[in-house]
Amino acid sequence: MKNKDLSKEYLNIVKNILEHPEFQRRKEYPHHGEITVYDHCLAVSYTAYCIAKKMGLDYESAAIGGLLHDFYDSPWQECTEKKKLFEKHGFVHAKEAAKNSWKYFPEYMNEKREDIILRHMFPLNVKPPKYMESWIVTMSDKYVSLEVLKDIKHLHRYVGFNKKKERRK
């Protein structure tokens, strides 16, 4: 998704986050397959923004929460350390993303946006979203990830489970 394909209003909402050096670093994080974390988050954010706007909801929170929903610490594919099930990426990255969002973008955060980020992995993370905007982001995330989900063999990528042969050397 190129910036020229995005609406002016949307870009005004997210511009400062997109240009921030810490967020720019996500251009180097592989997410699912060839897609970077930056591209994935942008696609989820713009999808959620468009839906929320159409529904007359808080589209700014959908855009910002969507953009920050996978703002986790480090590329999970590079992690070779053995972890217990509930310490794996799928279970912990939403919390990491919320923590980083408060750290780098406190002026953009509030309780609703934190809920959007924390609950986006529902139902893997069992606590359901509290707000409509959180539901929109979790559904947009799944929709954008369909490339990965359409082949059941790749489901582990969506939930963030590493398969040995896919780990980067």
Q: Does 70 interact with Fe ion (rule: CB under 5 A)?
A: yes
Contact by Cβ (8 Å): 13, 64: yes
Q: How many CB atoms lie within 10 A of CB 1?
A: 14
**Residue 87 CA: distances (Å) to CA of 28, 79, 83, 125, 127:** 23, 12, 6, 12, 17
In whole angstroms, the minimum distance from the beta carbon of 78 to Fe ion comes to 16
- Spatial separation of the C-alpha atoms in residues 55 and 40, rounded to whole Å: 23
- Name which of residues 131 to 150 contact Fe ion (CB under 5 A): 141
User: Residue 22 Cβ, how far from Fe ion at the closest point, in Å?
Assistant: 17
116 binds Fe ion (CB under 5 A): no
Write each residue from 11 to 30 as x if it is in contact with Fe ion (CB under 5 A), else as -, in one continuous string.
--------------------
**C-alpha dist (Å) from residue 132 to 20, 29, 135:** 28, 29, 5
- Smallest distance, Fe ion to C-beta of residue 134, A: 13
For residues 70 and 114, which CB has a smaller minimum distance to Fe ion in the complex? 70
Total interface residues for Fe ion by CB under 5 A = 2
Tell me which residues touch Fe ion (CB under 5 A). Answer: 70, 141
